[in-house]
């Protein structure tokens, strides 16, 4: 196989190529979840293993996709260069603003849908009951969530998905806006285990993160840090509530 895909047209890759690329990222992970769901059963730990394994598969496929394109992670807004103190403070400040925006949209989504449809105003977090009286479980869960969810989901559902959807619909005037909307819907749907309200809440959160991704010109680390704050707030709340 070639190290990279050559003879790319000046306007970029075709919509069909981008579609195949997305299918190669998401379809194997989807099949992996379906095939291992019976093994996971009602076991919470196994359930996390399945979801985290699927996310790792998608990250690996995205990395392969970038290599075949002859691109670096910087194309998605992910850089690994060092920053000085001033730059670090700016990144932290921006991430706090995104965090507030994301939490606000999360709450807004639940309020709107609850008033329209009468869906209960809380998501289903029964899968996290293992956090009760389990400080070690909280710490280990956060360690895994920071990499798999905070980092992985921003790379997968914001950077990769928005960029590929934008590329697919580039002939459409509002291609970036459409890409953000579709990625937010997709992000909500993958949280199906949280129930209907949970999908709506995470969908609105995904919308806020997608808008931030565009406004901040793909500064992905800002979004990753904001996602870390959100995950920490959620898990600590669940731990404190259970006790």
Q: Which residues, other chains included, contact 72 with Cβ-Cβ below 8 Å and sequence gap of 6+?
A: 66
Q: Which residues, other chains included, contact 45 with Cβ-Cβ below 8 Å and sequence gap of 6+?
A: 130
Q: What CA–CA distance (Å, rounded) separates 183 from 179?
A: 6
pLDDT tens, per residue, the chain with 243 residues? 344 554 455 456 888 999 999 999 999 999 999 999 999 888 888 888 999 999 999 999 999 999 999 999 999 999 999 999 999 999 999 999 999 999 999 999 888 877 877 665 667 777 787 777 788 888 988 988 999 899 999 999 999 999 999 999 988 889 999 999 999 999 999 998 888 888 999 999 999 999 999 999 999 999 999 999 999 999 998 888 755
Q: Which residues, other chains included, contact 229 with Cβ-Cβ below 8 Å and sequence gap of 6+?
A: 95, 96, 99
The tokens describing 236, both together, are 């600590």
Q: What value, to the nearest 5°, has the Cα angle with vertex 105 and ends 100 and 106?
A: 95
Helix (H, G, I), strand (E, B) or coil at 121: coil
Output the furthest CA–CA distance in the chain (Å, rounded).
60
pLDDT at 116: 78
């Amino acid at each position: 196989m070639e190290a990279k895909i050559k003879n790319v047209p000046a306007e970029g890759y075709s919509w069909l190529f981008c579609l195949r690329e997305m299918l190669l990222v998401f379809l194997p992970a989807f099949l992996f979840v379906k095939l291992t769901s019976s093994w996971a059963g009602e076991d919470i730990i196994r359930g996390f293993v399945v979801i985290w394994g699927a996310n790792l598969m998608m990250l690996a496929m995205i990395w392969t996709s970038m290599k075949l394109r002859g691109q670096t992670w910087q194309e998605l807004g992910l850089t690994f260069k060092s920053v000085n103190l001033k730059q670090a403070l700016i990144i932290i400040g921006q991430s706090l603003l995104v965090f507030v925006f994301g939490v606000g949209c999360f709450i807004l989504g639940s309020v709107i849908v609850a008033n329209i449809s009468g869906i209960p105003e809380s998501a289903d977090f029964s899968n996290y009951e293992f956090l009760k009286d389990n400080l070690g479980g909280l710490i280990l869960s956060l360690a895994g969530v920071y990499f798999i969810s905070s980092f992985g989901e921003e790379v997968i559902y914001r950077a990769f998905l928005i960029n590929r959807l934008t590329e697919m619909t580039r002939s459409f005037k509002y291609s970036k806006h459409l890409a953000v909307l579709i990625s937010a819907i997709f992000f909500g749907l993958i949280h199906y285990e949280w129930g209907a309200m949970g999908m709506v809440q995470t969908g609105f959160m995904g919308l806020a993160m997608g808008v931030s991704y565009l406004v901040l010109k793909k500064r992905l680390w800002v979004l990753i840090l904001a996602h870390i704050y959100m995950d920490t707030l959620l898990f600590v709340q669940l731990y404190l509530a259970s006790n």
